[in-house]
Each structure stands twice: as structure tokens, then as C-alpha cells.
Amino acid sequence: MASISLSVSPILTALCFLFFFVFFLHHPTSGSSGNAPHVTRNRKWMRFGSADIGFKPCKASDIVVSQAAGSPLPDGIPTFSVQISSTCSSKCPIWGVHVSCGLFASAKLVNPRIFRRVGPGDCIVNDGKPLESGVSLSFIYANSFSYPMYVSRANIC
């Protein structure tokens, strides 16, 4: 009986690994620049008949601002990743979201439609446009220190 021997070239192995990495392991936010808006939708599961299904008005506290240190720029300036999310469970959007941001400045350009300083200690999110339930906006800024950020005011339906 004849035996069949299969040999796989190292190039084919590398291509298979690359395909697997790109399509199954690659995180959607890795490699994104701070200039491009990054929007994700978070989903909440609701049980049929649950009291959570009824209308609940949103509150300014339903906007969550989180921040984490990132990799420094090539010139050594630290970077910080910021994510601003709407966790309100109603269909009512929140607009005119303002964040207390000190004298915010960045050595790396931040898309002004996503986040910009409009005055001392006052930054506006999403150009003042509605931030719907489950939506997250993110950006990266670079400075020698991080700015404490929290929602200072928002328009709520």
C-alpha cells in the first residue's frame, strides 16, 4: 500500500496564520488613529415582560467618560485613549454633551467633530449632536499628563 506524504511550505503556513490573525483575532480598534471617529454600538439584552422595557428618562450620569494611558508617541509624549459612551437604556438621545476638561490640549490632532475645547474647562462632544443609546465615541490625545474629564452638562429629552 502506498503512503501519501503531504508537506506544507513555510510560506503557506505563514499565509494561513496571517489570514487567521486578520479575520479572527484582530481587534477592531487596534491601529486606528485618533483622527478617525470610532463609533461602536453596545447592545443590552432585555427580557420580555421586564420592567426595564418601559420608558425611562435619561440622565447626565448615563454618559460615561473613561480614559486609559496608551503607548507614547515616537518623540516620547504620552498618549491617552478616551471613550465617551451613552449607557441610557431608552431610545431617547442625549445631545449637547459638555465635558469638564481643564485646559485641554493635545500634541496629536483630535477630530474636532468628536471632541473639542470650546472654552476654559469646557469641551463639547460629537459637535453637540445627539449621542444615541449604546453609542461610544473614542479618540486619542497626547500630552505630558492626562486631563481629568467628567460630564458637566447635557441636554436630555
Residues 112 and 131: their CA atoms lie apart, in Å, by: 15
If one counts every other C-beta atom within 10 angstroms of the C-beta of residue 115, the result is: 26
Q: What are 4-34's pLDDT values in tens digits?
A: 444 545 554 554 444 444 344 444 444 444 4
Question: Model confidence over 83-138: pLDDT tens digits?
Answer: 999 998 887 789 999 999 999 999 999 999 999 999 999 999 999 999 988 899 99
DSSP SS3 for 106: coil
| Contact status, residue 99 vs residue 116, Cβ threshold 8 Å | no
Instruction: Report CA 95 to chain centroid distance, whole Å.
Output: 17
CATH of domain 36-156: 2.60.40
